[in-house]
Structure 1
């Protein structure tokens, strides 16, 4: 018997944790299993062909809101090609109303909830060792009718088998890991609120398993723990181990900032820069709205801890906001955005409320006049506090923030505009409206155009001269892009004769095979330090990294 453990990930660089758990939890059983990973960007015909070529008896799918519709279509195609291939579903998108999902979709089995033990018993059933109705946590279809077995209690984390193999190639992959399951909080929009309590792996086992990623030189490990720092002793032990590790691997954690204590922040201040990334779910800075979603915390407490982490300057922070929360109107969300923006974290994520199947937020939808898409990912369309058109405006802002702010490649340009608008939101909204007017949302524009758009925006919307802005754009462009072949609209700097003379004077000090020389008409360093624009000729060298060197006037006179 051959079972194909199939994952359709949201991106090529992602790795699927669930199918690896299933494989390794049953590796002692004598059956043929294989993992195949695809992405939602792959053609369905290609996925189908590769699945059929494996000649499986059973195809399992790990199902999420981002892939459920694609999984459903591919399952239909599999059955059309070979009706004898059985299909087993599992994952968060099929764990609520599992029987209904099986009734409405092509397929034979659904695992409800945690899959490891149910999958193991399913294998035993397929091998003739136990009866089908003894597989707890399984729903199955027989002669067109769906049957549901007894529910399965949650397992001990200590029973889990480490999901990765010694010879596994994880190069250029984002690798997922969990040290705990469950969440101590009860946020209404989250599926973690449907189960209570938190289960932890033994901390010594966690440290041993993290060493595996360090030895593999994995680029990024993302902990999937819902609130990693809910147990201070546990999180401290792991952070201390990783701080002292000799590694270039980065580790990403979802944390609740407000519960960080002084001891933890003191420890985190010792972390090498880039070692840790923290994702902080702010969601809203409106304390009344926070209480509506069962988050009994004040934004002022979150802000205090986030700013403490900002002050130690070694941890990248990603702050989340959610639009469409109960009783948060458009003006309140704008205040939330401006509040978070003033903190200046490395990333700001503007998300939109998703009313997940099984969440208490979906059950209360009518109470707040919530209309949402019946199709995955079940995103909010409007509430009694915010309209559809207002949410569409926020989506334009979200795209601008993600492209320009979160990429960190336009910081000097953004700082030029921030003071020209009343609030940060006003800037991004105005930029989003400009994008829409130009039709940029409906076509692919190149990297160079993302810089050039600011010149058009400045001239058409602000009616201002571009002579200073173009210098800032050119400098910002040269930091993050190829130094040779400067775009035509930025070629307003050094003349060839002047360039030749300067290079002759500097040739003993710098190799111009490695450096690109450019001239500017403003004092760039003064602008970087205090946003002051001072007319002054300045010269800089740019290498193939993000570094640059200021040339002293005395060196070229």
Structure 2
């Protein structure tokens, strides 16, 4: 029997761990399946055509909030052109209301609930025995039986995770090693956050460390670019996560490992181990969500904010890993004022990325079950995003949507930190939320949200913003933006709107770059090869303020200062005292 397992990923770079877990388990039971992944950015007709070419007798599709609407449309088309094909849906977007899914979509034959490895394998074996005819009554599934929707048992879970085969084949890893590889070391979560589907399950199950080390070694041996752990809280148990961190820290590899952690569960030993890891080895995602205590209590979440501050600051200080912190808009009891406080709290930690998410009223989550208590209004179809509640009007949610867009293009782009943090200090009294709210208001007024924007356009927008609202600060803002431009994107983006002065320095710079002994004071082992190489690798720029002094003390001094930027070393800069001819 020809069985195709598929899904629609959000992006091409993503891969589906669920499909590979299902395939590996079915293969263990002697059932051959094939996998084909698509994305939500492809056209339905294109996907349908490719599925038709493969001529599956059974097709299983993994469903999530980002693809469910498109999957339903696809299944309807599949039944129209391949009416004999058995269509099976699984995944979180159909597990919590399987009867409703079948009732609304009669072209779906089966729904597999929860962890689907055992249920799907049994269902496929039953279909093989009956050659796809009749009804297979398998625990953990729902289907039509004699015209009636029947749900067979409950969602099933895998008791011993080591019983699951490794999800990836070596030959496949060679093909997908530059995409994001998803992996799990546990299932379940110790917490009961009411906005999360993990609140619907109890307890945490772990793979053995011996098994995990073997799996991770396979990824390292195949030189994969990034492994993203899907554990809901990776550092739940110290005797589990710390040996994994230690093992990965000792490897000689390019692979980056991404974990979602609770920062307040880290202790000094874990902080020390993470801080000593090779640069770029780890990437940490830390869900703060809110710092408003009534909100945290309502969603059954406990944050030790003092410890979060301490631990994130310690990890940030060494700067050897990417830190990604999260906030959620639309949680109970969090008004715009309280959200702004949460924002400023997290912003003060200066994470590499601060993600502003909007609450999704997920099926099966506690917050969706109590939606009437807080007067929630949200979209009827996936992703069920909040539009308003008792504490935030739609107008305020809309304002925060603009703020998120601008924030992603500015702070999260890592391009404008020096200039914007100075503006926060000098013009907004240290209130970061006020700056980004003002930027987003300007963004909306100019209808910038209706257009796409290049990095150069963002420089122009920020300069226009400063010119209109804070003209007396414009010259300093120019100089700090120049510094940001030369320390971002390898110095390749140099907007014409900024007051570059290197053309006026051309003669002095020509003498400087030709004099290897002179340049060697700042760039050891420097050799002049060609002007093209010099322009590609280095930049010298004169600033009208003392940039090093500002970075050290936060004080602006009007003093001409020349800096040399070395793009062989990620834009590392060096102070050039002057450009007078060098005397050996």
Q: Would the alpha carbon gap of residues 211 and 456 (structure 1) be closer, same or farther in structure 2, given more than 3 Å must change?
A: same
| In structure 2, distance between residues paired with 1:390 and 1:349 | 18
Show the counterpart of 1:179.
185
Alignment check: 8 A CA contact 1:347 1:405 kept? yes
| In structure 2, distance between residues paired with 1:485 and 1:159 | 52
Q: Is 1:19 equivalent to 2:25 in the alignment?
A: no
Q: Is 1:528 equivalent to 2:551 in the alignment?
A: yes
Show the counterpart of 2:120.
119
Q: Is 1:160 equivalent to 2:164 in the alignment?
A: yes
Give 5+ residue unaligned stretches, structure 2. Answer: 517-525
Q: Would the alpha carbon gap of residues 339 and 152 (structure 1) be closer, same or farther in structure 2, given more than 3 Å must change?
A: closer
Question: Please, what TM-score do these two structures have when normalized by structure 2?
Answer: 0.90
Alignment check: 8 A CA contact 1:479 1:545 kept? no
Show the counterpart of 2:138.
135
Q: Would the alpha carbon gap of residues 99 and 302 (structure 1) be closer, same or farther in structure 2, given more than 3 Å must change?
A: same
| In structure 2, distance between residues paired with 1:466 and 1:500 | 29
| In structure 1, distance between residues paired with 2:6 and 2:220 | 27
Map 1:342-421 onto structure 2 (within 5 A): 342-419=348-425, 420-421=427-428
Show the counterpart of 1:430.
438
| In structure 2, distance between residues paired with 1:113 and 1:349 | 28
| In structure 2, distance between residues paired with 1:199 and 1:352 | 29
Residue of 506, 510, 515 corresponding to 1:499: 506
Question: Please, what TM-score do these two structures have when normalized by structure 1?
Answer: 0.94
Residue of 247, 254, 270 corresponding to 1:264: 270
Name the SS of the counterpart of 1:41 in structure 2.
Answer: coil
Show the counterpart of 2:498.
490
More displaced 10-residue stretch of structure 1: 265-274 or 351-360: 265-274
Q: Is 1:543 equivalent to 2:567 in the alignment?
A: yes
More displaced 10-residue stretch of structure 1: 135-144 or 109-118: 135-144
| In structure 2, distance between residues paired with 1:144 and 1:134 | 14
Q: Could you tell me how far 1:300 is from its partner in structure 2?
A: 2.6
| In structure 2, distance between residues paired with 1:525 and 1:34 | 58
| In structure 2, distance between residues paired with 1:302 and 1:91 | 33
Aligned length: 556
More displaced 10-residue stretch of structure 1: 192-201 or 52-61: 52-61
Q: Could you tell me how far 1:361 is from its partner in structure 2?
A: 1.1
| In structure 2, distance between residues paired with 1:54 and 1:211 | 34
Q: Would the alpha carbon gap of residues 221 and 2 (structure 1) be closer, same or farther in structure 2, given more than 3 Å must change?
A: same
For residues 480-534 of structure 1, what are the alpha-carbon distances to aligned partners after superposition, in whole Å with 9 as ceiling and x for unaligned? 34656844323631236x4134223322435433233443232333333334242
Show the counterpart of 1:80.
80
Q: Would the alpha carbon gap of residues 72 and 393 (structure 1) be closer, same or farther in structure 2, given more than 3 Å must change?
A: same
Map 1:249-288 onto structure 2 (within 5 A): 249-288=255-294
For residues 6-59 of structure 1, what are the alpha-carbon distances to aligned partners after superposition, in whole Å with 9 as ceiling and x for unaligned? 121111111110111111111245554211111111122211111111111122
Alignment check: 8 A CA contact 1:493 1:518 kept? no
Show the counterpart of 1:475.
483
| In structure 1, distance between residues paired with 2:307 and 2:492 | 48
Q: Is 1:294 equivalent to 2:295 in the alignment?
A: no
Show the counterpart of 1:103.
103
| In structure 1, distance between residues paired with 2:267 and 2:492 | 49
Q: Alignment RMSD, CA only?
A: 2.2
